[in-house]
Structure 1
């Protein structure tokens, strides 16, 4: 896994995908005020420009947040802007969803990623009162997951409740281990307000070799093969939204701590 800071920056509508690796149409991005505190840093690196480049997927394969931008990311996460950005994405998703005419046959689906789309891992990255440029450590991260203490991402439980009221079948697809993390994931999700779902899909051991785009594409393909219509698809990473069967419309949440491919 390669990690890179990815805060959400602005609205982007892309052309219709003509191949599995092209961007789905459209991806919606929203982001913070360019005047956010911590924007200017010493030296040549401008953290806001850097954030824009990585959010556009122009800069890739970084391992950690640049050290110069620790404070900048901290201001974004701990201030008002991150919750505001998440809520705006959720509001736009709901405006789209409530305008749809569902069939009522139980096959109208909305897909959510789990990590940093529904459950926030921000506390894991918050070290010594700041967000550190820290490399991914699988053992440490699984220890955090097994605590079952992740809070909800701002605005998403409210969107989830509204989608249920509209009649959508909610399907969660996560790269978390089926063998290790099924029970604690269900506990954590229910504890923060995600009380029911059509499917909660976790990664099987046999799927460990698949990269994230391949894995998510495979699972969405199985959902479509079961007769579901994917009206909405929401994630915090580009790899949640790329690949086969991305859905009728996709929505990307901010993720200012890492990049997954």
Structure 2
């Protein structure tokens, strides 16, 4: 399993470089960046947490300039693609956005959970969502605003549940997402994977005559599975994996 491979890497790194000078802060193992790259490329899947010895690396990445630069590369490419499109004039072209870690950031919550090193805790995450305080990811907001200017309608598709509709709506509005075509949330009692739910919702959109010209999410499950859209964009997120 992917988790087992990560743990083996951890052990190997600990054996190879276990000595540090007294009084010096231990540096993250050099393989942490390689593991992050493999996670983003979907070469490591099904993992539950990032290894504990990479905690500082992930914290530094998520709170430093590199995360913003990586995100800006994605957003700039998405905007360039959107600007190249020739729209039909029907008003049916849409762009699908995930919410958490794509439109809104849960980094204030993740900071208290080791940035992905601690196991997922549903109760505490739901509590954070209900506060409605998640800040906008500025790159995504920039893409959203440009799409509105171009005449491409945003659709939010999230595995947040229907009982979180009001707080999600208010949170999006408060962070500058002023309008959208649809906000699609998962039924509370639906027993299916996130990927299966999102594929089915995209099918419904296509069946209703919409053309998904773009699709952006921080998880591969946001953007895999037909109809995924004319082009997909993976927003960086090494903190957790959603199946």
Could you say which TM-score interval applies, normalised by the shorter chain?
0.7 to 0.9
1:57 is displaced (CA, Å) by 1.8
Match of residue 54, structure 2, among 44, 52, 69: 69
Task: Determine helix, strand or coil for the equivalent of 1:258.
Answer: coil
1:133 is displaced (CA, Å) by 1.1
| Stretches of structure 1 lacking an aligned partner (at least 5 in a row) | 4-37
What is the 5 A alignment of 1:245-256?
245-256=227-238
Other-structure match for 1:17: none
1:223 is displaced (CA, Å) by 0.2
Counterpart check, 1:146 vs 2:130: yes
Q: Is the 8 A contact 2:195 2:224 kept in 1?
A: yes
Deviations 1:100-132 (A, max 9, x none): 10011110111101111000111111128x636
Larger radius of gyration: 2
CA distance in 2, matches of 1:111, 1:143: 26
Counterpart check, 1:155 vs 2:142: no
Task: Determine helix, strand or coil for the equivalent of 2:138.
Answer: coil
Task: Determine helix, strand or coil for the equivalent of 1:102.
Answer: coil
Calculate the aligned-residue CA RMSD, in Å: 2.0
| Stretches of structure 2 lacking an aligned partner (at least 5 in a row) | 4-24
Q: Is the 8 A contact 2:40 2:238 kept in 1?
A: no
Question: May I ask how many residue pairs the two structures share in their alignment?
Answer: 221
CA distance in 2, matches of 1:157, 1:106: 21
1:49 is displaced (CA, Å) by 1.5
TM-score when normalising by structure 1: 0.80
CA distance in 2, matches of 1:239, 1:131: 20
What is the 5 A alignment of 1:161-172?
161-172=145-156
Other-structure match for 1:173: 157
- Structure 1 runs of 4+ aligned residues shifted over 4 Å read none
Of Structure 1 and Structure 2, which has the larger fraction of its residues in helix?
Answer: 2
Task: Determine helix, strand or coil for the equivalent of 2:96.
Answer: strand
Q: Is the 8 A contact 2:28 2:56 kept in 1?
A: no
Other-structure match for 1:122: 107
1:154 is displaced (CA, Å) by 3.0
TM-score when normalising by structure 2: 0.86
What is the 5 A alignment of 1:188-203?
188-203=171-186
Greater relative CO, 1 or 2 (CA 8 Å, sep 6+): 1
